[in-house]
Amino acid sequence: MRLLFVTVLALSLATFVGIGTTWMTATKGTDLGTLTIGSWTARPKTGTADIDPYSRATIVRNGELPIGTGDGVAFTTVSDDKKRPLDGRCDVVLSGVTPPARFWTLTLYDGKGHLVANALQRYGFTSQEIVRAADGSFEIHVASRSRSGNWLPTGGIERYQLMLRLYDTPVGVATRSQREAPMPAITTVGCPT
């Protein structure tokens, strides 16, 4: 009787721990091979044959196709520079410069990686569409209500994520620091309370 209890306890614990950790790593990801610059993170190795098993599991579970290294690299963020989660009801400003690349695209997704519907049918920007200052720097306003300049609508959803993809870029597996890849700053400037 006691043996049975012990076996059942060990096996159920094993199932719980095993499946639980797998689910956690497949949904939230791991820090393996992660390049973090400001609040942006990228996993350049997911675009190569050297991809780690955890990223593979995440990609297969999401049903996405990772961007290939010969094509570009993708940076994502779910929070601003002060670690505050990106909120679609707030005004968020992206400003500064981007790493060297032939061009880039910025896209807003919901938590599951779907585009967010809005009246303007604007889901992101390409580097060629952006209105810039004389020195080449730019500001993008991510907000639910219309803004002058570069306005990226959030559709008012509570949580969103931004993805900045650099195409034909030297940034990749060998990149380590902000100096090689200066990413734009993200600031929450105001929230209606």
Partner 1 sequence: MIRLALTIVAGVILGGIVHLVSVLALPRIASHDAYSRLTPMTELNAVTALPSADPSRSPMPFMDPAFAMAICRYDLSAGPLKLTVPVSQAYTSVSFYTRSEIAYYAINDRSAGKKVIELDLMTEAQHDDLPEDEEVTAADRLIIDSPSTTGLIVLKALAAEPGLMPQAQASLAAASCRTQTEPAPAKQAKR
Assign 51 to helix, strand or coil.
coil
Residue 191, interface with partner 1 (CB under 8 A)? no
Structure tokens at 185: 């700053």
Residue 136, interface with partner 1 (CB under 8 A)? no
The minimum distance between CB 145 and partner 1, in angstroms, equals: 19
Binding mask 42-81 for partner 1 (x = CB under 8 A): ----xxxx-x-xx-xx-xxxxxxxxxxxxxx-x-------
The minimum distance between CB 112 and partner 1, in angstroms, equals: 6
Based on CB atoms, which residue is closest to partner 1, 120 or 189?
A: 120
Based on CB atoms, which residue is closest to partner 1, 8 or 191?
A: 8
Residue 32, interface with partner 1 (CB under 8 A)? no
DSSP-derived secondary structure for the chain: -HHHHHHHHHHHHHHHHHHHHHHHHHHH---TT-EEETTEEE-GGGGSTT--HHHHHHHHHHT--PPPTTTEEEEEESB-TTSPBPBTTSEEEEEE---S-SEEEEEEE-TTS-B---TT---EEETTT--B-TTS-EEEEEESS--SSEEEE-TT-SB-EEEEEEES-S-STT--STTTS-PPEEEEEE---
Q: How many residues bind partner 1 (CB under 8 A)?
A: 62
Based on CB atoms, which residue is closest to partner 1, 158 or 190?
A: 158
Which residue stretch of 41-49, 84-92, 135-143, 181-189 sits at the interface with partner 1 (rule: CB under 8 A)?
41-49
Which residues of the chain form contacts with partner 1 (CB under 8 A)?
A: 6, 9-22, 25-26, 46-49, 51, 53-54, 56-57, 59-72, 74, 102-103, 105, 107, 109, 112-117, 121, 123-124, 126, 128-129, 163, 165, 167-168
